[in-house]
Amino acid sequence: MALPPTEEISPLDRQNLVNLETPPPSQARRIIIETIETIVLAVILFLAINFLSARIRVDGSSMEPNFHNGDYVIVNRVAYQTGGIERGDVVVFPYPNNEEVDYIKRVIGLPGDQVAIYGGIVYLNGEAIPETYTLEPWTFDLAERTVPEGTVFVLGDNRNNSEDSRSWGFLNIEKIIGKAIFRYWPLDTMGVVYHPDIVLAAPQSN
């Protein structure tokens, strides 16, 4: 059956005619396009997740009883871009003497704080702080010192088996990778990382 001249076809019929003359994309082409879109989305999500967070494996016993060798923890990389560091935070950073190795420790002293340890008790700005998260008291004393600007004083929870600010000094805040927020392995200890509030008076002036 012959079609009428184009000028006699209504706009709606002309559009239908164009649709009839344009073959739909093949199923193979559609699958390829959907696969490419899925891959691109997955790459974007992967990059976003890695920008915002990191996953680290706890190596050693320096944070017992709260973290054990082989624990896997998610670290918030942007925690300190939106808020300040607080006493009690558990942070991850490159070991100052070998930056290829990541360490996990607890922040005890902030810039300006006066830190000392006597008889296994930690004193901040002259106040003894309650530490329910430690494995056992440290068996040595640490003379009082002031935390310099731009740094923090960090300790392992397992005080008698931890290499931390007592041995290699204050931690540069700019070196901190992020704040430990969630333990996802092993499954029986999965959960949000506990960060106790250590609220003190302002540092005493010298």
Could you report the average pLDDT of every consecutive run of 10 residues in the chain (206 residues)? 54 53 68 84 70 84 96 94 89 94 96 94 94 88 96 96 96 96 93 80 48
Instruction: For residue 154, report the phi and psi dihedrals to the nearest 5 degrees.
Output: -120, 145
pTM: 0.77
Under 8 Å between Cβ of 76 and 181:
yes
The catalytic position among 53, 62, 162, 205 is: 62
* pLDDT at residue 200 in the model: 64
For 171-205, b where at least 16 C-beta lie within 10 A, e where not — what string? bebeebbbbbbebeeeeeeeeebebbebeeeebee
The catalytic position among 26, 61, 105, 179 is: 105
* pLDDT at residue 50 in the model: 64
Under 8 Å between Cβ of 52 and 76:
yes
Active-site annotation holds for 179 = no
Give the angle 57-87-193 at the CA atoms, nearest 5°. Answer: 35
In 3D space, the residue among 157, 111, 164, 163 whose CA is nearest the CA of residue 137 turns out to be 157
* Angstrom distance (rounded) from CA 162 to CA 69: 13
* pLDDT at residue 42 in the model: 76
91 secondary structure, DSSP code: E
* pLDDT at residue 206 in the model: 45
Active-site annotation holds for 62 = yes
